Chains A and B, each alone.
Chain A
């Protein structure tokens, strides 16, 4: 199931990282580039 998490703030970031850990295909999106970099560091993909 290709999943997209929009908004990588405190709750969204945790949700996105939890999806990645559960081996769900997960992409993240946030207007803040720092949040995207943090998600990338946890093994996430992101889109623009």
Chain B
């Protein structure tokens, strides 16, 4: 980033808080920004961390928007992601052309950093638990020798469905765990959820159970696979043979 200069707006899409801090504070990035430039941080991180980073960036004369995103790679490529944004009104107004280019929905969650990350936290809680729940359901269905295609096709029209069930269970049916979003993402994100909850003395038993499953998958070498691969852990525990498995 030594060559960057005269930047008005920087969008940060690195993997985690540590990388975001490294790129912001251990590189020449901030020196290449114009005064009053917009720093839009789209990384999923703890709300308290968003506030901390915002304070440091703003102290150097830049504006900060806490702006985690959702929607997946396909929607991102179409410029149709969802942005959970919080920041000062003038910063939000100036960010509008960029938000219009990359998103279909912008949720304005207040004028202080942290609000966007709080919303993302709630989304990740549900997303992580729903993926694990869908895996548990697929494993039980497989153990009952049910036709997984029929199960998925039927349940998606029933009340037990979820966006994650519709999106992820075909990977199990196909035995294809090419990562669209990896197991390790949820080791990180449900870790943020349970840390934030326990710091506030809030019970999150479902998140903790799901997190334990993602952690076990990661420890058993599945961290880089699609997050639906948590089903393999359940299958091993249950002596179930899944599609595409050669054991």
CB pair B97 A1 closer than 8 Å: yes
Taking beta carbons and an 8 Å cutoff, which residues of A are in contact with B?
1-19, 21-22, 24, 27, 29, 47-48
CB pair B8 A19 closer than 8 Å: no
Residues of A within 8 A of B15 (CB): 7, 9
Kindly state the separation between the CA atoms of A16 and B42 in the bound complex, as whole angstroms: 12
If over half of A's interface residues share one DSSP class (helix, strand or loop), that class is named, otherwise mixed; here it is mixed
If over half of B's interface residues share one DSSP class (helix, strand or loop), that class is named, otherwise mixed; here it is mixed
Q: Flag whether B106 is at the interface (Cβ < 8 A).
A: no
Q: A3-B7, A3-B8, A11-B42 are in contact. Are A22 and B73 (CB under 8 A)?
A: no
* Interface residue count on the B side (C-beta < 8 Å): 35
- Please name the residue on chain B nearest to A12 by beta carbon: B13
Q: Flag whether B69 is at the interface (Cβ < 8 A).
A: yes
Shortest Cβ gap from A44 to chain B (Å): 13
Residues of A within 8 A of B122 (CB): none
Residues of B within 8 A of A5 (CB): 10-11, 13
CB-based closest 7 A-B pairs: A14-B76, A12-B13, A18-B79, A22-B101, A10-B73, A7-B13, A7-B14
CB pair A48 B101 closer than 8 Å: no
Shortest Cβ gap from A2 to chain B (Å): 5
Q: A7-B19, A14-B76, A48-B1 are in contact. List 16 more A-B contacts (CB 8 A).
A: A1-B98, A2-B7, A4-B11, A5-B10, A7-B23, A10-B76, A12-B13, A13-B73, A15-B42, A15-B76, A18-B77, A22-B100, A22-B101, A24-B97, A29-B1, A48-B3
Residues of A within 8 A of B42 (CB): 11-12, 15
Shortest Cβ gap from A8 to chain B (Å): 7
